[in-house]
Structure 1
Amino acid sequence: MEPSGEPRSRSWLGELRGRAKELELLHRAMGFATLALVTLAPLLIVVAAADPLGHGGFALWLVDGMGLSGRSAAAVREVFTPPSRVVGTTSVWGAVLLAVFGLSFAASVQNGYERIWGLAAGPWHRVWRQLVWLVVLMAYLYLQVQTRSVLEGSYRIALSAGTGLLFFWWGPRFLLGRQVRWRELLPGAVTTVVCLGGLRVFSILVFTPLVVTNAVSYGAVGTVLVVESWFAGAGFVVYGGALFGRMVWEGVASRRA
């Protein structure tokens, strides 16, 4: 008699694949990457340029997030470093438009979480939740960069993992209007943080040399394409981690039942 664990494993993987297909995970990841580059990046550039500590701006955020160094880091800085007077030349209306664009990114993430948990779309007057989530996201990214110059090694990894766990645990709970309990969201937050660590390792091994190669072959466009690919990977991790976490919770709940 064959062990019962193997068919169950296959069935569970098949269920995960089916849900990912229903969610259109790959298309959502590509949409995440597009919105991140087109709507979120300009807002982060202005926010990073206003940093009173002057720790390198948005380009350093990208370099740190992707784990780049050397020539690859220099290529990204060359493309994404804004003019020194970017804040002074940004009008009030321009800042408002940037915030609106950022809200479209937050709305896309919220819609992804709603689809994962099978919830109806929230009413329009809950847009304030997207705004708060966006502000916390920028604060989270800013904190990640600040630890670069303060902590090193295992201390920084522990702090980054801890803050990441809190953000990806709180984020879905807040965007979904507290319709999903904290304990149900914890497996997804853990999965997301672990997979982001894996994405960072992958970026160091693959994207670091690829940035240099593309910068030489295609110039700034090649660098942007690599950054866009990394954003797609981040979107895959954010949505895929939440989806995987829901299935883990359902498995735990069914065993308890």
Structure 2
Amino acid sequence: MAGVSGLRRVWRGSTVGRVWRQGGELELLQRSMGFAALGFVTLVPLLIVIAAAAPPFQRTGFAQWVIDGMGLSPRPSAAVRELFAAPARVVSATSAFSLLALAVFGLTFAASVETGYQKIWELPASPWHGVWRRAVWLAALTAYLFAEAQSGTVLRRGWQQNGARIVLTLVFGLLFFWWGQRFLLGGRIDRWAALPGAVLTMLGLVGLRWFSSQVFSPLIVTNAVSYGSVGTVLIVQSWLIGVGFVVFGGALLGRHLYESRNQNRNRNRKETDT
């Protein structure tokens, strides 16, 4: 019994044990599902409207971002592009109520990400007037996703341009998640504390892209045949749940890696002083 108690103590004190425990308290899977649902109702219409308002890019938008993020082959790409194609008169048909609903959903989506970060760092809720941070973060996210989707239109000739596009996507994605986490938290964490989470988030998204290309890509084809557009939506929604899991999980693991490194550094410093 003493051996079992000792092992439990070691597990609870380890970085993996702390991440596992806080991940359960955070309800990581449920939070990721909320991220996917709110992200879907926010990013789909937002990127479609922006793409429709820019004539040279009307054939891209949310669909192109999904295709790039999932690493889809040509056949499932066509199914996704057909599903999220922007209607010809989407801008003129957009009503004031639609824009208001989009703004409400967008700010709610940003608030859910902010709440997730607050729980990861065990910080109190931000004051009500911090809503402007959510609006700025959402605008920055939309600009990043739209630029990433449109870069395929500009940088698509030869391996040099494709390589440059990959590097730019990774660099700007790293900068966005590094800046975004600290910005949503109102600067209540050190800038270097947010860096490990940003790195792990981008690594996780790369891994998710590989997994999607191997698993989700063929599933889109079979589901599109069996269930039509609904089957494609289900696969895209499953991928968005994975994105949410990576965003929150990367930040959670990054926090504990940062704190473990600081603890080891302080311990070594004390041993050196003594």
> Under TM normalisation by the shorter chain, which class is it?
over 0.9
Corresponding residue of 1:131: 135
Corresponding residue of 1:190: 199
Give SS of 1:87's match. helix
* Counterpart contact for 1:49–1:58, Cα < 8 Å: no
Give SS of 1:88's match. helix
Corresponding residue of 2:36: 33
Corresponding residue of 2:52: 49
Identity fraction in percent: 57
1:58-116 per-residue CA deviation (whole Å, 9 max, x = no partner) reads 22222122211211011111111121110111123321221121111001000000000
- In 2, the alpha carbon distance for the partners of 1:52 and 1:189 equals 33
The residue type equivalent to 2:31 in the other structure is R
1:104-143 per-residue CA deviation (whole Å, 9 max, x = no partner) reads 1001000000000111111111111000000000110012
Corresponding residue of 1:82: 86
The residue type equivalent to 1:140 in the other structure is Y
Deviates more, 1:230-239 or 1:91-100: 91-100
Alignment of 1:87-102 (within 5 A): 87-102=91-106
- In 2, the alpha carbon distance for the partners of 1:57 and 1:182 equals 31
Deviation at 1:34, TM superposition (A): 0.9
Equivalent pairs, count? 251
* Residues 9 and 158 of structure 1, relative CA distance in 2, 3 Å threshold: farther
- In 2, the alpha carbon distance for the partners of 1:62 and 1:49 equals 17
* Counterpart contact for 1:39–1:104, Cα < 8 Å: no
Structure 2 unaligned runs (5+)? 1-9, 156-160, 267-274
Deviates more, 1:206-215 or 1:154-163: 154-163
* Counterpart contact for 1:40–1:105, Cα < 8 Å: no
Corresponding residue of 2:119: 115
Corresponding residue of 1:200: 209
Deviation at 1:195, TM superposition (A): 0.7
TM-score, L = length of structure 1: 0.93
* Counterpart contact for 1:51–1:57, Cα < 8 Å: no
Deviates more, 1:193-202 or 1:55-64: 55-64
Deviation at 1:36, TM superposition (A): 1.1
Deviation at 1:11, TM superposition (A): 3.1
Corresponding residue of 1:210: 219
The residue type equivalent to 2:18 in the other structure is E
Corresponding residue of 2:256: 247
Structure 1 unaligned runs (5+)? 1-6
Give SS of 2:90's match. coil
Corresponding residue of 1:14: 17
* Counterpart contact for 1:43–1:99, Cα < 8 Å: no
Corresponding residue of 1:236: 245
Deviation at 1:146, TM superposition (A): 2.3
- In 2, the alpha carbon distance for the partners of 1:206 and 1:15 equals 31
Deviation at 1:52, TM superposition (A): 3.8
